[in-house]
């Protein structure tokens, strides 16, 4: 089985600061490389100049030797050049045409406090070749008599480069740390409005469509703010229109149900009553003239009676008792009692009412009855439960709300992926009243449907009678 990989989530400030630090570290690395390259270039250019001066000095000495007609003793004489240009680790030499070094003067190395790391020394020597020489030809009368050669000791140059880099690295490291701290602080201040954006989105997710974002200083965040507010306003308008349309459709559906119930009662019900009366009349006549037809007449009468019972149940579902006249509590208790009678003990239905249920507004009471009716029907059809509990509570407080829960002990513990018309109808009714509906599995198996609907302030709510807990069984 494939296991999904968990992606680590980083804070935006941390991620941007990390990128800034990486870019800054690369820039500081480039600075260090430039310093090393520039130091090597400067040293090599200095050696080139010293080699040029040495070559000219030796050519001058050869010219004097020609003028005096006796070469000075100790030619070539490099002391004059060495006295002016000698540095630690620097070597000045005269090389004859045969390649042999005739004379060489080298400066001693400075006392080293520490040697450069071996890895740095190897890398530096491979990149720069610090011991390479600078040579200039020495000519006399158009002929080359030798070369003036200047080079620096590789170890001395490597140590000098490491000392320069050692002085530079702490400065750059401190600058990098300060840059990261300042960048993180600046990003934290600049991204502070994102908390307001997140809070606004959370309010939208919680169905608070009145959420709006304040103005921001940044142009990008201001554009997000304008888009967010426009989206919230459009969504609020669309949901308001949808709620109004849903209320009209629900009212039209209830009217159509009442009309259909009236037609069934007036037409189909009367026809069934006539069939049963006719069967009784035929049975009375057949008992004297044709006793063999008595059984058929009784069968017709039983069938008509069964159809009358089914029609009565359908009429009860299409046109329930008037909640405004009987009250919501009595209507729900009658609904539960009816299901207990029809189930014959296969499923036990219980009801619990608390708070001033009968003081609810008529539209809320009617919708709650319809929702409870549909919830119990779905439970019987799909849950396969042995016990179903309906609980309705009116919560008193600053924001009054009524909570309807339907809980069963059936094996179905998850909400269906594609809800049917029943759940969609309940969801539309709940949305039309500004409520919330949730469906979740219970800890002991089964499922719980929970519906919460806000209720306008009710006068004398504390004096409303509390309905005692009741259990209806067949």
Residues in CB range of 431: below 8 A, 6 or more apart: 239, 242, 243, 246
pLDDT in tens, 371-411: 888 888 888 877 778 888 999 988 776 668 889 999 888 77
| Residue 193: count of CB within 10 angstroms of its CB | 19
More confident site: 253 or 110: 253
pLDDT per residue over 153-166, tens digit each?
A: 888 888 888 888 88
Segment 79-91 shows an average pLDDT of 80
Buried-state track 423-435, b at ≥16 Cβ within 10 A, e below 16: bebbbbbbbbbeb
Residue 409, both tokens: 């002990």
Handedness of CA 4, 10, 16, 17 (dihedral sign): negative
| DSSP code of residue 445 | S
Q: For the structural domain made of 12-188, what CATH number should be given?
A: 3.30.450
Calculate mean pLDDT across residues 42-48: 88
* 34 three-class SS: helix
Say whether the peptide bond before residue 207 is cis (omega within 30 degrees of 0).
no
Query: Using CB atoms within 10 A of its CB, is residue 194 exposed (0-12), middle (13-18) or buried (19+)?
Result: middle
Give dist(CA 246, CA 232) in Å, integer: 20
> pLDDT tens across 116-174, in order?
888 888 888 888 888 888 898 988 777 888 898 988 888 888 888 888 888 888 888 89
Question: Which secondary structure element, helix H or strand E, spans residue 360, and what is its range?
Answer: none
Which residues does residue 393 pair with via DSSP β-bridges, in sequence order?
A: 354, 403
Q: Is the pLDDT of residue 47 over 80?
A: yes
Q: Contact 421/322 with Cβ under 8 angstroms?
A: no
Rounded Cα–Cα distance for residues 37 and 39 (Å): 5
Q: Is 69 left (phi over 0), alpha (psi -120 to 50) or beta?
A: left
Helices (H), 264-361: 270-289, 294-318, 323-326, 328-343
pLDDT of residue 457: 67
Sequence-separated (6 or more) residues with CB below 8 Å from residue 445:
409, 410, 411, 413
Q: What is the pLDDT of residue 117?
A: 87
pTM of the model: 0.48
**356 phi, psi to nearest 5 deg:** -80, 70
Share of the chain above pLDDT 70, in %: 85
Structure confidence at residue 5 as a pLDDT band (50, 70, 90): low
For 239, residues 6+ apart whose C-beta sits below 8 A from its C-beta are 209, 431
What is the pLDDT confidence band of residue 464, given thresholds at 50, 70 and 90?
very low
Give the pLDDT of residue 467: 44
Mean confidence (pLDDT) of the chain = 79
Residue 472's pLDDT is 39
Categorize the per-residue pLDDT at 178 as very low, low, confident or very high, splitting at 50, 70 and 90: very high
Q: What is the DSSP letter of 319?
A: S
Confidence of residue 310 (pLDDT cuts 50, 70, 90): confident
The whole-angstrom separation of Cα 106 and Cα 102 is 14
- Domain 12-188 and domain 326-474 have a common topology: no
Domain boundaries, the chain: 12-188, 205-259, 326-474
Mean per-residue pLDDT for 324-343? 83
Using an 8 Å Cβ cutoff, are 319 and 258 in contact? yes
Q: Does domain 326-474 have CATH number 2.70.210.12?
A: no
Among 65-74, 270-279, 396-405, the minimum mean pLDDT is found in 65-74
pLDDT digits (tens, 9 = 90+) for 431-448: 878 888 888 887 767 788
CA torsion 178-183-186-187 (nearest 10°) is: -150
CB 319 within 8 A of CB 257: yes
The pLDDT of residue 75 is above 80: no
CB distance 400 to 387 below 8 Å:
no
Give per-residue pLDDT as tens, 196-245.
Answer: 888 888 888 887 778 888 888 878 888 888 888 888 888 888 877 877 77
C-alpha atoms less than 13 angstroms from C-alpha of 434 in its C-beta half-sphere: 11
d(CA 9, CA 6): 9
- The burial of 329, by beta-carbon neighbours within 10 Å (0-12 exposed, 13-18 middle, 19 or more buried), is given as buried
């Amino acid at each position: 089985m494939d296991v999904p990989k968990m992606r680590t989530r980083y804070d935006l400030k941390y991620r941007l600061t990390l990128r800034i630090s990486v870019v800054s570290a690369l820039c500081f690395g480039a600075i260090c490389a430039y310093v090393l390259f520039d130091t090597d270039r400067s040293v090599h250019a200095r050696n080139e100049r010293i080699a040029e001066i040495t070559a000219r000095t030796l050519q001058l000495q050869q010219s004097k030797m020609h003028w005096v007609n006796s070469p000075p003793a100790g030619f070539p004489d490099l002391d004059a050049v060495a006295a002016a240009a000698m540095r630690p680790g620097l070597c000045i030499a005269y090389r004859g045409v045969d390649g042999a070094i005739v004379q060489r003067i080298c400066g001693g190395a400075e006392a080293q406090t520490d040697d450069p790391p071996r890895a740095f020394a190897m890398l530096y020597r491979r990149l720069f070749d610090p011991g390479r020489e600078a040579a200039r030809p020495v000519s006399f009368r158009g002929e080359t008599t030798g070369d003036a050669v200047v080079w620096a000791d590789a170890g001395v140059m490597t140590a000098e480069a490491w000392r320069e880099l050692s002085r530079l690295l702490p400065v750059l490291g401190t600058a990098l740390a300060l840059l990261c701290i300042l960048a993180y602080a600046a990003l934290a201040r600049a991204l502070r409005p994102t908390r307001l954006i997140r809070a606004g989105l959370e309010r939208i997710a919680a169905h608070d469509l009145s959420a709006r974002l304040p103005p921001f200083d940044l142009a990008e965040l201001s554009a997000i703010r304008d888009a967010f507010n426009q989206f919230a306003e459009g969504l609020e308008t669309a949901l308001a229109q949808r709620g109004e349309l849903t209320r009209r459709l629900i009212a039209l559906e209830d009217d159509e149900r009442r009309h259909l119930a009236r037609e069934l009662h007036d037409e189909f019900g009367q026809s069934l009553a006539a069939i049963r009366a006719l069967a009784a009349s035929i049975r009375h006549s057949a008992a004297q003239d044709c006793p063999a037809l008595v059984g058929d007449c009784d069968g017709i009468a039983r069938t008509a009676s069964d159809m009358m019972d089914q029609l009565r149940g359908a009429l009860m579902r299409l046109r329930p008792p008037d909640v405004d006249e009987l009250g919501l509590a009595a209507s729900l208790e009658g609904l539960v009692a009816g299901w207990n009678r029809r189930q014959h003990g296969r499923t036990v239905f219980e009801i619990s009412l608390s708070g001033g249920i009968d003081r609810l507004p008529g539209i809320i009471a009617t919708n709650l009855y319809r929702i409870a009716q549909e919830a119990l029907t779905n439970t019987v059809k799909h849950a396969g439960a042995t016990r179903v509990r309906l609980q309705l509570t009116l919560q008193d407080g600053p924001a009054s709300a009524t909570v309807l829960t339907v809980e069963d002990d059936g094996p179905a513990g998850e909400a269906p992926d594609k809800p049917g018309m029943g759940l969609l109808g309940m969801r539309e009714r709940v949305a039309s009243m500004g409520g919330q509906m949730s469906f979740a599995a219970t800890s002991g198996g089964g499922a719980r449907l929970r519906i919460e609907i806000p209720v306008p302030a009710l006068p004398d709510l504390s004096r409303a009678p509390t309905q005692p807990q009741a259990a209806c069984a067949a």
